[in-house]
Chain A
Amino acid sequence: MSHRMPKSERSLRQRAEKRARLTAHAGLATWGERLVPLGQFRSATAAAGRTLDSAAQEATRRDFLSHQPDPTTVEGPYSRIAVFGGVYNNHPALAALLDEVTSRSADAIYCLGDLGGFGPHPNKVRPLLEEGAVRVIQGNYEESLAANHQDCNCGYTDPRDNHFADVSYRYTAENTSLGFKRWMGTLPRRRRVLVGNRELLLVHGSPRRINEFLFASTTPVPFLEMLLDQEKADALCCTHTGLEWHRPLPSGRDAINVGVIGRPANDGRPVVRYCWLEEARGKLAVELVELAYDHRLLAQEMRREELPNEFIETILDGWWTTCLEILPARERARSRH
C-alpha cells in the first residue's frame, strides 16, 4: 500500500539529483530561466549596452554629477557658532547646552532637527529653543509629527526594536502640542551659514535625504567631496545617526556629523555632544564638545512618565539598548549591546 521508495533508493536518487544540479551548467549559461550554449549568452552580452569613447564618458560623468544651484539664503558671516542635533526631548541637556554656548559667546546657535522621541515632556523643548534664539532645521521626527503620521516607520528586522521605536514615537506624538507640531511643519530643510569666509551647509541626514545615515565608517571621502562639489559648500554639518565625527577632506573642506544632545554616543559615558565652529585664520576650526548635564534628573522624569527602562538605562550608563540595527559593523562592534 505504500508508494514510498526504500530509503537507500531515495538517497541514491537524491545524490543523483544533487550531482545533476552541480554539473547542470557545463558548457551552458543561464539566460533568464533557460539554459543556452555559453557562446550564445556571451555574444548577446557582448552586443548589449552602449560603449562611449573616452571624451563622451568624461562629458557623461560631468553631466551626471551636475547639480541645480541652491537658492537658500546664506546667513552670517559669524566668527563662532554652535551646532547640535537630536534633542530627543532632553530638555535638561538643551538647557545646559544653551548656558554653555552663551557663556562662550556664540554668534548664532543652530539645531539640526529631531527634537522629539526617547525622552520626557516634549513641550518643554520649545520655550528653551525660543529663549536661546535657536535656528532649527526640520528632522525626520518633525516631518512625521507635522504630517501626523501614526508611527515612525522605522521598519526594523527585530520586532523588539520596532516595539521601542513605536513606544518612543507614540509618547512624543501624544504629548506634543498641536501648535508645536504645526511649527515643526514650517521648519526649513536646510540652512547655509558663513563662518568667517567658509560657507557651511546644514542639513539633518544628508543634503539629499532627510533620513540618510552618514556614519563615520560608511561615509567615504570621495562621496563627501562629491556632495560638497555639488552643493558648492566648504563644509557639511549633519546629524541623524546619533554618533559624532569630523573628517577633514583632502580638498581642505570639512564634513562633520555634530552628534546629538539627546542621548549619549553609545560609549559607556553619560555625556552628550555638540559642535563648536570658529573662524581661525581663514580656516574652519572644528571642535566636537562633550557636554555634561543633569542626566539623573532626566532619568527621574523618564521614570515618572513610565518611559521604558531600556531608555533610562541608556541615559544613565551611556550605552544604547535598542534599535542598534542601524549601526554599521564597525560602530556595532564598539557597542555593548
Chain B
Amino acid sequence: MSSVSPTADQEAQSPRVELRHLDTLWFQVGGTLCNLACTHCFVSCSPTNHTHEMMRLEEVLTFLDEAASLGVKEYYFTGGEPFLNPEMEAILEHTLAYGPATVLTNGLLLDRTRSRRLAGIAEAADYSLDVRVSIDGYSAESNDPIRGSGTFDRILSGVANLTAAGLNPVLTVTEVHDENSSAYGKERFFSVLRRLGIDKPRLKILPLFPIGAEAERGTAYESWQRLRSSDAPADGWDHLQCSTSRMVTDQGVWVCPILVNEPSGKMGATLADTLRPFPLAHAACWTCHVYGVSCRT
C-alpha cells in the first residue's frame, strides 16, 4: 500500500489534464463538517472536522460573479452537510439567479418546513434546483452500519418530506456494497422509492473512492494505481471531471471535489488562478480514469 499523496517526482512525471471549459463549479459550503461520520466518506467529514470551514454567502457571491464571467453552466453544493450551513437556503436562492443548482445532502436535516421552503425556492427560480440525497443500502441492515444507526429511516423521511413538498430528489448510492449497482440492487432502490409514493423515482450510482475514511477501512490504493501518460485515451483526458470543473472551499479553489484534503489539489484563490492544466499525480486520479467517475447528477 502506498501513500495517497503524490511526491514531487510523481507530480513532475504525471500526465496533465487541460481545463477545457469551466462548466461545473462546486462549492464545499458545509466545509468538512457533518452531522454524520460515514465510514466511507472520501473527505472524512464529521462533527469535529474543521479541515475546511463552512462558506459564507458573501464568499459564494464573489465566486458566482467570477463564474458568470467565465460562462459556468451549473453549480453544485456539498460538504460535509450543506444544510448545517445557516445560510444554505439563501445561497441556493442567489445561485439560482446565475444557473441551475444541485445540492448533495445526507437528508437528515430535511424536515417538513425546510422541504417546503426549498420547494418554494425551486418554484420561484429561473433554473432547475436538484436535490441529491445519499443512501448506502436499500435496507437499514445494509445502510446503517455505514451511515450510522437509525439513519436509513431518517434519510427516507427526508426524501418523503421533499416529495410531499413537491420536489423530486435523486437518490444517490455509492457502490459500498457490490450489489448496489447490480440490476437487482437498482430494482430494490427503485422499489424503496415507490413504496414512499414516489412515482417518478430517480437514482444515481457512484463508485467508492479509497481515500479519506475509506482508506482507513483498508481499501486504499496499491502503488501501481497511478496514471501514466501512456494511459491517456485517444481523445485525451476529457472524460475526467477536472477537465470541466473546479471546487471552491473556504480556503481557495481546488482542482476537483475529490482532492480537497490534499493541499497539492489547491490551485489558487480565484477561478482565474486555476485556468490551467493539472498533473494527474494522485492515486484517486486512477479511480476517476478507470471507473469513469463523475460526481455530477
Chain A residues within 8 Å of B, Cβ to Cβ = 18, 21-26, 28-33, 38, 41-42, 44-52, 56-58, 60-61, 63-65, 157-159, 208, 215, 217-220, 222-223, 225-227, 324-325, 328-333, 335, 337
Option from A30, A157, A218, A337 in Cβ contact (under 8 Å) with B128: A218
Q: Give Cα A22 to B3, complex, Å.
A: 24
Q: Give Cα A330 to B127, complex, Å.
A: 8
Contacting pair B252 A49 (CB below 8 A): yes
**Inside 8 A of A325's CB, which chain B residues have their CB?**
202
Q: What distance in Å separates the Cβ of A148 from its nearest Cβ neighbour in chain B?
A: 18
Contacting pair A61 B69 (CB below 8 A): yes
Q: Give Cα A333 to B128, complex, Å.
A: 10
Q: What distance in Å separates the Cβ of B128 from its nearest Cβ neighbour in chain A?
A: 4
With A32-B3, A159-B183: A222-B215 Cβ-Cβ less than 8 Å: no
Query: CB-defined interface of B72-108 with A at 8 Å, one 1/0 digit per residue?
Result: 1110000000000000000000000011100000000
**Inside 8 A of B14's CB, which chain A residues have their CB?**
none
Q: Does B44 contact A (CB under 8 A)?
A: yes
Q: Offer 19 A-B interface pairs, CB within 8 angstroms, sorted by A.
A: A21-B46, A24-B46, A25-B44, A29-B261, A30-B49, A30-B212, A30-B261, A31-B262, A33-B215, A41-B263, A50-B273, A51-B273, A52-B272, A65-B71, A218-B74, A220-B73, A328-B100, A329-B128, A329-B129
Residue on A nearest B267 in the bound complex, by CB: A49
Option from B51, B199, B266 in Cβ contact (under 8 Å) with A30: B51
Contacting pair B51 A29 (CB below 8 A): yes
Q: Does B47 contact A (CB under 8 A)?
A: yes
Q: Give Cα A198 to B122, complex, Å.
A: 35
Option from A32, A33, A42, A337 in Cβ contact (under 8 Å) with B200: A337
Contacting pair B43 A21 (CB below 8 A): no
- Chain B interface residue number, banded: 35 or more
**Inside 8 A of A331's CB, which chain B residues have their CB?**
128
Contacting pair B128 A217 (CB below 8 A): yes
With A24-B37, A217-B127: A32-B4 Cβ-Cβ less than 8 Å: yes
Contacting pair B275 A61 (CB below 8 A): yes
Main DSSP-derived SS at the A contact region:
helix
Q: Give Cα A287 to B48, complex, Å.
A: 56
Q: Does B251 contact A (CB under 8 A)?
A: yes
Given A23-B48, A30-B43, A32-B4, 5 new contacts (CB under 8 A): A25-B49, A58-B272, A157-B205, A222-B68, A329-B128
Contacting pair B50 A38 (CB below 8 A): yes
Q: Give Cα A217 to B273, complex, Å.
A: 29
With A18-B148, A217-B128, A329-B168: A38-B51 Cβ-Cβ less than 8 Å: yes
**Inside 8 A of B127's CB, which chain A residues have their CB?**
217-218, 220, 330
**Inside 8 A of A222's CB, which chain B residues have their CB?**
67-69, 71-72, 98-99
Residue on B nearest A35 in the bound complex, by CB: B44
Contacting pair B71 A328 (CB below 8 A): no
**Inside 8 A of B98's CB, which chain A residues have their CB?**
220, 222
Q: Does B70 contact A (CB under 8 A)?
A: yes
Q: Does B156 contact A (CB under 8 A)?
A: no
- Quick one: which of A21, A208, A329 has the most chain B CB within 10 A? A329
Q: Give Cα A337 to B200, complex, Å.
A: 6
With A33-B4, A61-B272, A217-B128: A48-B46 Cβ-Cβ less than 8 Å: no
Q: Does B253 contact A (CB under 8 A)?
A: yes
Q: Does B21 contact A (CB under 8 A)?
A: yes
Residue on A nearest B145 in the bound complex, by CB: A14
Contacting pair A48 B273 (CB below 8 A): no
Option from B51, B122, B263, B270 in Cβ contact (under 8 Å) with A25: B51
**Inside 8 A of B148's CB, which chain A residues have their CB?**
18
Q: Give Cα A126 to B268, complex, Å.
A: 54
Q: Does B247 contact A (CB under 8 A)?
A: no
Contacting pair B266 A45 (CB below 8 A): yes
With A30-B212, A159-B183, A220-B73: A22-B48 Cβ-Cβ less than 8 Å: yes
**Inside 8 A of A22's CB, which chain B residues have their CB?**
37, 46-48
